[in-house]
Amino acid sequence: MKKTIFSSIIFLLPLFLFSQENEKKVKSEIKQVTVFLSGASVNNTGNTTIDPGQSDLVFENLSPNIDANSIEAKGEGAFTILAVSFRTNYLNDQPKTKEIKQLEDSLEILQLKIDVQKNMRTVYESERSMLLANKNIGGQNTGVNSAELEKVANILRTRLTDLNNKQMECSLKEKKLNEQIAKTQSQLNEFNAKRNINTGEIVVSVSAQSAVNAKLSLTYNVYNAGWSPIYDLRATDSNSPVKLEYRANIWQNTGVDWKNVKLTVSTGNPSQGGTKPTINPWWLSFYAPANYYIDGIKARGARSEAPSMMVQKSSPVAQEELKEVVVADNASNYTQVTESTTTVEYDISIPYNISSDNKPHSVSIQSLSIPTTYRYYCAPKLDPDAFLLAKVTGWDKYNLLSGNMNIFFEGTFVGKSYLDTHTTSDTLDISLGRDKNVIVKRTLLKDFSEKKIIATNKKESRMYEISIRNKKSQPIEIDIEDQIPLSTNNEITIETLETGGSKYDTEKGSLLWNMKVATGEEKKFRFGFSVKYPKDKSISNL
């Protein structure tokens, strides 16, 4: 049996060595990456020499998260590509980077410093023990006078105190050094984790009649990458169009850093699939209750629970708060937009570095100037402050995606919003914050409000006055909204007394005033209603 196993090993060894001899490592660089909403398409290029005959070219140090079905190989030169395959290398450790070597050197230095402190503590402890062991200053038959005793005691106390303090100093230094070691070791572990991950390899089998200098190009899709849209909306003042900066938060955790690559951001999503759905015939049948047993007795009409379906809406990813930065130029000026039938691609000519750290890297892809009108809005029943609204029109023609939006007004960050591209409205209302120079007051007029009893009913009347004062240096347009209550009970009767010239929606009970207010002008208007209901009852929210 041993002889048979030995013979098999001898037989397989030449085949293994032959396969290794026919493999040639090829170094390649990532030149271009197209990032989809989920996943990315990576393009690697490399140059090598192909020997006559058949051989395998191994592109090493690639991402281990490659979709093997997406690999495409092309080449320039007099050779033939026979096959392409993907494999994972579990034994190929990446070389130590400059950062790793520096951290390892720092750990050695810190450990040496700790050893020095430990040695010093040992010396101090030995000296302390020696003092305590030789503290007797008199013989067995001779005494010592009080002056000598006090002198020796002072020397002993001073020296022991000094030794104890030095030991404490050494312990404190050791503690701080150990904290530095822990931080340095954590950082080193993070770098080593990236260095020791598995790597992917693409094997390209080729055949050539003679030696040839070849240029090869690989294109493949990777998982663990993608991008999400985010917007910066900037309004310079209340008279200018808004500037909408369209940015892509690109992330990747493919195991390979993208260094100095040309990026293309695509609205496509290959992982979603492109197969159209098929509707099968919908057959109806009579319900037949299932049989079930209770304590061994046959029963009918078992309850049939239909499967529940839960749709989870995606919530906007929280982004870090951004500070406005003045830059000399914008990267969106180097972006070319290409629109196809189903997707939009943004080709960015400036090369980028995207680390494999699973963190968002912001890339500006488009800067738009969108026509905007500005109006104020106030609902004094809920909030007495007037809010400046930017009413953005024509935003729906720019192929935007839904995403978070940071809002800046007059160079100041005023808050966050969400751009919902699925809305059917062609006007986007964006709040630019409160304006204390527009003063709105809502006052209950007690002289025109009363309570009285009529037979078996109670009747309450309310009259309100709304005043608007414009303290700004330019006229404004403002929408004021209030409401008349609605009844859900036939015992409660509501009568509208006055609407103050507003647009009154009887179904919703809303009152809307659209008006212009000149500089320094103050306008007032009233609205009121009455409520009649049984006197033995009360209304809690009137």
pLDDT at 511: 95
Average pLDDT over residues 131-156: 67
pLDDT at 100 over 70: yes
Place of tokens 């570095």: 353
CA distance 50 to 41: 27
CA distance 525 to 465: 6
pLDDT at 207 over 60: yes
Tokens read off for 39: 């996943």
- The mean of the pLDDT values for the chain is 82
Phi and psi at 522, nearest 5°, equal -125, 130
Q: What is the pLDDT of residues 319-367, one digit of tens each?
A: 444 444 444 555 666 677 776 667 888 998 889 999 988 999 999 988 8
**DSSP for 176-227?**
HHHHHHHHHHHHHHHHHHHHTS-EEEEEEEEEESS-EEEEEEEEEEEEEEEE
pLDDT at 353: 93
**Banded pLDDT at 139 (limits 50, 70, 90):** low
DSSP secondary structure letter of residue 66: B
pLDDT at 3 over 50: no
pTM for the structure as a whole: 0.64
Residue 384's identity, in one-letter code, is P
Residue 111's identity, in one-letter code, is Q
CA distance 70 to 169: 63
Lowest mean pLDDT among 265-279, 328-342, 381-395, 519-533: 328-342
Query: Residue 87: CB partners within 8 Å, gap ≥ 6?
Result: 200, 201, 203
CA distance 313 to 418: 14
Report in angstroms the alpha-carbon separations of 271 from 84, 221, 222, 275, 537.
22, 10, 10, 11, 62
More confident residue, 123 or 384: 384
CA distance 261 to 33: 7
Average pLDDT over residues 62-74: 92
Angle between helices 98-133 and 146-195 (to 10 degrees): 160
What percentage of the chain has pLDDT greater than the value 90? Answer: 40
CA distance 425 to 392: 11
DSSP bridge partners of 428: 392
CB 235 within 8 A of CB 410: yes
Query: For residue 388, how many other CB atoms are within 10 A of its CB?
Result: 21
pLDDT at 519: 94
CA distance 247 to 263: 13
pLDDT at 13: 40
pLDDT at 311 over 60: no
pLDDT at 128 over 90: no
Report in angstroms the alpha-carbon separations of 313 from 213, 310, 319, 425, 532.
54, 10, 18, 21, 44
Which of the given ranges, 147-151, 365-369, 430-434, 469-473, has the highest pLDDT on average? 469-473
pLDDT at 424: 60
Which of the given ranges, 18-27, 122-131, 163-172, 307-316, has the highest pLDDT on average? 163-172
**DSSP for 4-19?**
HHHHHHHHHHHHHHHH
Q: What is the pLDDT of residues 367-417, one digit of tens each?
A: 888 888 999 999 999 999 999 998 888 777 788 888 999 999 888 898 888
Average pLDDT over residues 284-294: 63
Lowest mean pLDDT among 343-347, 423-427, 523-527: 423-427
More confident residue, 289 or 348: 348
pLDDT at 99: 83
The pairing of strands 53-62 and 23-26 is parallel
pLDDT at 187 over 70: yes
**Banded pLDDT at 59 (limits 50, 70, 90):** very high
Average pLDDT over residues 118-127: 85
pLDDT at 323: 45
Question: What's the angle, vertex CA 539, arms to CA 533 and CA 542, rounded to 5?
Answer: 105
Q: What is the pLDDT of residues 448-485, one digit of tens each?
A: 888 888 888 899 999 999 999 999 989 999 999 999 99
More confident residue, 280 or 43: 43
Q: Alpha helix locations (H) across 433-520? A: none
CB 353 within 8 A of CB 217: no
Kind and range of the H or E element at 51?
none
pLDDT at 258: 94
pLDDT at 310 over 60: no
Long-range contact pairs involving 318-325 (C-beta distance under 8 Å, separation at least 24): 318/404, 319/230, 319/249, 319/360, 319/404, 319/406, 319/416, 321/413, 322/232, 322/406, 322/413, 323/413, 324/408, 324/411, 324/412, 324/413
pLDDT at 306: 36
Query: Residue 82: CB partners within 8 Å, gap ≥ 6?
Result: 54, 205, 206, 207
